[in-house]
Structure 1
Amino acid sequence: MARQNGRHVQITDFYPTKGMFRPGETVELRLELAGPEQKVVQGTAHLRLSHLMEPVAELEQPFVLTGGERAGITFAWTAPQARLQGYGADLTLFDTAGQVLATTSTAFDVGVHWTLAPRYGFLCDFSPDRAGIDETLRRMSRYHINGIQFYDWQYRHDHLLPPQATFIDPLGRQLSLATTRALIEAAHRQGMAAMPYTAVYAASPSFFHSHRDWALFDGGGNPCLFGDDFLYIMNPTPDSPWTGHLLRQFERVLREMDFDGIHLDQYGEPRSGFDAAGDPVDLAQVLPAFINRVKDVATSVKPDAAVVFNAVKSWPPEAVAGAHQDFVYIEVWPPCTTYRDLRDVVLEAKQLSGGKPVVVAAYISPAGNLHGVLLADAILFAHGAAHIELGEGDGMLADPYFPKFEVMPPQVAQAVRSYYDFAVRYENLLLESADNTSEIAQRFCLEGVAAGLEQSFGTVWVIGQQKPGYQVIHLINLLGLTDGEWACPKPAPTSRRGLLARYETATRVERVCLASPDYDGGRWAELPFTQQGNVLRFVVPELHVWDMLILSEQ
């Protein structure tokens, strides 16, 4: 939410009441207001809904604020029958004389299934005395989170459900199945899917010693381990006893809990081994078949169940990209350390999977690092990927062990919320456009500023995409940066104003629009332009971190 408040009234918040809405559902947008002390303010709240650059509805409601009181207004609108559609919601408060008091914006989307545009968040506190469950999920919904990974909720990796409602997990934490159930219910009320964390081949020491012949071994005949006698790696070959056992665990979880699918983790190593008989096991060949079996079991219990697999270090990309997972999930590790590496990971995943949505797990500390967070999100969002980073209210993942998350400082939280508004509002451009940077970037230039198709410091990174009827040009500001390591803190890029742009295109352009999550609530603005022959010229008013240029074709 972005807002501009006048001296007579304050907009304290404006947000959709769910992370995602279903076709035909009533969309609710909640406006929260505060008036000045010892003064009565009244007027009209005017709401304009748009899809991309086209208006779709206008709604109005009166308001009266007396003596500093707070008030709330809920706007209701029936969602259309759309497979996936993002909307902008721009609100203006007028007084009785028609003068503007304040403005604000948010976004929402409508989709038949959350995995079409996954905005994956996390929960990791399942303690018996947990409080504030509904408020936690409400805060997450304001970032439009529509799917949640329930991280380390389980009793054991090999026996997911506990023998009693309150139990001790392998790390000594006291957890509660009642808390997990309450979190699932709260997530569903906020329009979010609940996905239980599981691991494809991890077992406790006691389970391994009782089922040694189910395990995976190295070339020396030693069992493969994760950690120092913490977990043992079992053999996930599709017809192995371990796989049969784990599939029965998944089926039981989906029948007894109201989860919405299965999240599958792996550790990146080992990539091969031997079964108890000494026969080789190539996990790059085994894992796709394992994923497919999980999908079959999950959908036999819940037909719309999702299955997600963590391709740690983007491995094994060719093998699992085409498996029956609903979107590609990649946890990046060295040598994927630069912004260019993030781009390459996303584009490769999209190509290998036939265009499935991509979610990237890249852990970044928000502490003193506003622009490091925003640059990573801008690069991922501009390439049509999502970033699993938000959860537990206003938490951000700064470590692969999710309970080590950090709470975002207010400035970071506000800016990140604007970026998620922007990603939802323009998702039909961001997710549905094909990358064409190699051609578009070579035909685009900014007068007096180096701009190009590759990440290079002291330049503006140009990303080009195409969708029927549109050409989209993203400008990522790297001016003033001295490195491209996405995990390192970043200063504010050097802002520029009044940039003269030149773009060569043989297509006749009907209009040029600019939108940015960095200002004006993400609203688009039409730019004056000239087109002489194949040369298009216009001025980019300002560039802070990320601008998106939208060229509508005739």
Structure 2
Amino acid sequence: MKKIFYLVSCFMLFASCKDENATTGINPSDHSGGDVSVSITAGPKIRLTTDKACYAPGENVQFTAEGQIPAGTKIRYRQLEEVIAEQDYTGNSWNWALPEQDFTGYMAEIYSSSNGIETIYGTIAIDASSDWKRFPRYGFVADFGKKTDETIQDEMNFLKRCHINGVQFQDWHNKHHWPLGSTHDGQVLNIYKDIANRDVYAETIEKYINIQHTYGMKSIFYNLCFGALADAREDGVSDSWGLYKDYAAKTRDSHDLPDGWKSDIYLTDPGNLAWQKYLAERNADVYNQFDFDGYQIDQLGDRGTVFNVYGKEVDLPEGYASFIKAMKEAHPDKRLVMNAVSRYGSKNIAQSGAVDFLYNEVWGKDADRTEAKFSHLKQIIDENANYSGNRLNTVFAAYMNYRLADNKGQFNTPGVLLTDAVMFALGGSHLELGPHMLCKEYFPNNNLTMSEELKQAIVHYYDFLTAYQNVLRDEGTLNTSVDLESADGKFTVSQWPPQTETLCVIARNLKDKDIIHLLNFSQANSDEWRDDDGTMPEPILTENPKFSFRPSRPVKGIWMASPDFAGGALCPIGFKTNGDRLEMKLPSLKYWDMLIIEYK
């Protein structure tokens, strides 16, 4: 994998405001008023990395920088607007001991300052969390053929740089009903075939798990909750555990697969206690062989009316909850995640009390388009919060440029970034990153590649998601009524939901601050997130846009951060009063700017 180099250099010039009501004398540590002017300049390319994807509170972080950095440069560690620590830059490798505070995101900034001007050379986020389930950032692997140590390390280094803290192993298993598989004399196979008859090397699985654990990631194996192959009866699976399309149990419900694959998948009743016991025992074999941290449970969405062998209609969502609880009871120290395909069974999954977070595979192809729009993403976030009592965060399995991926090509960068901006602003995250970016529900499909531009941008977006996790995903209430207006006519501002040709604003209200997200749909050609054909236009970069808003309380200060600007570094924003409104000028706006309004 090519190394990703990125530069963000910004000059922040703080000048007094002309308005008599504005506070004057603004500097990098005092930003309670005044105009702020920011420009970006070329400079040395700096690549920052850390030794892990995530850390425990109090753990030591090892940083590495590649590139020439001028003398007098400093390193600053922020938690939102608070500077936690600062030190001189004395070499290309250094350590920082994290504070003991749990579930906290930080941003490390390499910068220099001269005559009131700061130049930021590079940034990188750090997540200090004792458990991944508070702020899940989920990735995947899906090819377990013969691989060198170098290849696996390169793949995982990119996920580490994006702070991915859990990895789903898709289609790694031998048989759905017997994931590990073996010969019938009990010997574990070193090489076997997956469902598509691709070679799987046990050694490759072990290498992935080992390096993921070194980086602080969770390794989660994938399997259906109710899948059996054609030879399941030979392996001890009873037909009486099956799921049927008719009450007479004559037609087995099944999922058809392409010719040349190992087998179609024949469904079992997930609520059947004997089936649950059988699969839990097979999972015990998996955990004894591989150091997996848990089980990614899959389903197939709404199957219509289905029956068990006795002619009783099966309540699949209730069966899912029963299955989840049985898997947790069998292996209480292992983690569980379950897919709610098109929201099917979401409430039962959320209220099972046994999943680490909520995982929604969303689609845009159904007739009534109930998951196709950006607005539907918020509906799912809201539903999940309601179902879980605001305890569980949401990960979207959402496949970008879906029709474009029918052929070889590249992802459309604007489509991907705008969708990530919306998902992250709403408090969700996106299952999309692995050895390649996801474009289809069959995870090994790699028809679309990421351009270097997209790779660099994705690093910034995941830095942003991680550094600002406490105001993006932690508590607070989403607010769709935001009194923010364009003060210079550069944007037409609209409230949620997003509309083409407008700047959509949405807020998250916290105890002592408001977070206002500015999502740029000014050049967008659709209000649907998937950008099926890869035609979403790139938004125009707007320099120094001016906005005004009516605050609900006296304002202490305003900050701006954007994954599109200064590597996500937090910039103090000057403001002035005009009647009951505050006016401010931002450095720039492309896809997404985030404002932090601090109240006194």
TM-score, structure 2 normalization:
0.83
Distance 1:186 1:124, change over 3 A: same
CA displacement at 1:134 relative to structure 2: 1.7
Distance 1:534 1:255, change over 3 A: farther
Is 1:26 the counterpart of 2:26? The answer is: no
Aligned 8 A contact 2:120 2:566 in 1: no
CA displacement at 1:199 relative to structure 2: 0.8
Specify the alignment match of 1:67 in structure 2: none
CA displacement at 1:526 relative to structure 2: 1.4
Q: Which amino acid counterpart does residue 539 of structure 2 have in structure 1?
A: P
Q: Which moved more, 1:311-320 or 1:372-381?
A: 311-320
What CA distance in whole angstroms lies between the structure 2 residues aligned with 1:110 and 1:230? 44
Q: Which amino acid counterpart does residue 404 of structure 1 have in structure 2?
A: N
Residues 257-293 of structure 1: CA deviation (Å, up to 9, x unaligned): 2111111011114254111111221102111121122
Equivalent of 2:399, from 354, 360, 363? 363
Specify the alignment match of 2:444 in structure 1: 403
CA displacement at 1:94 relative to structure 2: 9.0
Distance 1:26 1:338, change over 3 A: same
Specify the alignment match of 2:350 in structure 1: 321
Is 1:446 the counterpart of 2:486? The answer is: yes
What CA distance in whole angstroms lies between the structure 2 residues aligned with 1:295 and 1:127? 30
DSSP 3-state at the match of 2:90 = strand
Specify the alignment match of 1:54 in structure 2: 82
Specify the alignment match of 2:185 in structure 1: none
Specify the alignment match of 1:3 in structure 2: 7
Residues 231-281 of structure 1: CA deviation (Å, up to 9, x unaligned): 000111152x21111111223322332111111011114254111111221
What CA distance in whole angstroms lies between the structure 2 residues aligned with 1:52 and 1:389? 26
Is 1:333 the counterpart of 2:360? The answer is: no
Q: Which moved more, 1:502-511 or 1:98-107?
A: 98-107
RCO comparison, higher one (Cα < 8 Å, 6+): 2
DSSP 3-state at the match of 2:530 = coil
Q: Which amino acid counterpart does residue 135 of structure 2 have in structure 1?
A: A
DSSP 3-state at the match of 1:274 = coil
What CA distance in whole angstroms lies between the structure 1 residues aligned with 2:580 and 2:117? 43
Equivalent of 2:560, from 504, 514, 521? 514
Residues 183-227 of structure 1: CA deviation (Å, up to 9, x unaligned): 100111111110000110011011057621111111263100011
Residues 461-504 of structure 1: CA deviation (Å, up to 9, x unaligned): 11111111110100000002221222222111233333332212
Alignment of 1:69-80 (within 5 A): 73-80=92-99
What CA distance in whole angstroms lies between the structure 1 residues aligned with 2:201 and 2:138? 23
Specify the alignment match of 1:270 in structure 2: 303
DSSP 3-state at the match of 1:491 = coil
Distance 1:199 1:339, change over 3 A: same
CA displacement at 1:2 relative to structure 2: 4.5
CA displacement at 1:352 relative to structure 2: 1.7
The answer for unaligned runs of 5 or more in structure 1 is 35-40, 64-72
The answer for unaligned runs of 5 or more in structure 2 is 11-40, 183-188, 258-262, 402-408
What CA distance in whole angstroms lies between the structure 1 residues aligned with 2:429 and 2:48? 23
Equivalent of 1:125, from 140, 143, 158? 143
Alignment of 1:151-166 (within 5 A): 151-163=170-182, 164-166=189-191
Q: Which amino acid counterpart does residue 550 of structure 2 have in structure 1?
A: E
- The structure carrying a bigger strand percent of its residues is 1
Equivalent of 1:527, from 553, 573, 595? 573
Distance 1:497 1:360, change over 3 A: same
Specify the alignment match of 1:70 in structure 2: none
Q: Which moved more, 1:253-262 or 1:321-330?
A: 253-262
Q: How many pairs were matched up? A: 529
What CA distance in whole angstroms lies between the structure 2 residues aligned with 1:478 and 1:306? 38
Specify the alignment match of 2:377 in structure 1: 342
CA displacement at 1:47 relative to structure 2: 0.9
What CA distance in whole angstroms lies between the structure 2 residues aligned with 1:86 and 1:105? 13
Specify the alignment match of 2:24 in structure 1: none
Is 1:113 the counterpart of 2:142? The answer is: no
Equivalent of 1:235, from 269, 278, 300? 269
Aligned 8 A contact 1:5 1:11 in 2: no
The percentage of counterpart residues that share the same residue type is 28
Distance 1:444 1:327, change over 3 A: same
Residues 45-94 of structure 1: CA deviation (Å, up to 9, x unaligned): 5211110011011122434xxxxxxxxx2221112222200001101369
CA displacement at 1:140 relative to structure 2: 1.3
Distance 1:522 1:414, change over 3 A: same
What CA distance in whole angstroms lies between the structure 1 residues aligned with 2:272 and 2:238? 17
CA displacement at 1:532 relative to structure 2: 5.6
Specify the alignment match of 1:212 in structure 2: 239
TM-score, structure 1 normalization:
0.90
What CA distance in whole angstroms lies between the structure 2 residues aligned with 1:213 and 1:204? 15
DSSP 3-state at the match of 1:43 = coil
CA displacement at 1:107 relative to structure 2: 0.9
Q: Which amino acid counterpart does residue 554 of structure 2 have in structure 1?
A: R
Q: Which amino acid counterpart does residue 264 of structure 1 have in structure 2?
A: I
Residues 159-205 of structure 1: CA deviation (Å, up to 9, x unaligned): 11132111112211111111101110011111111000011001101
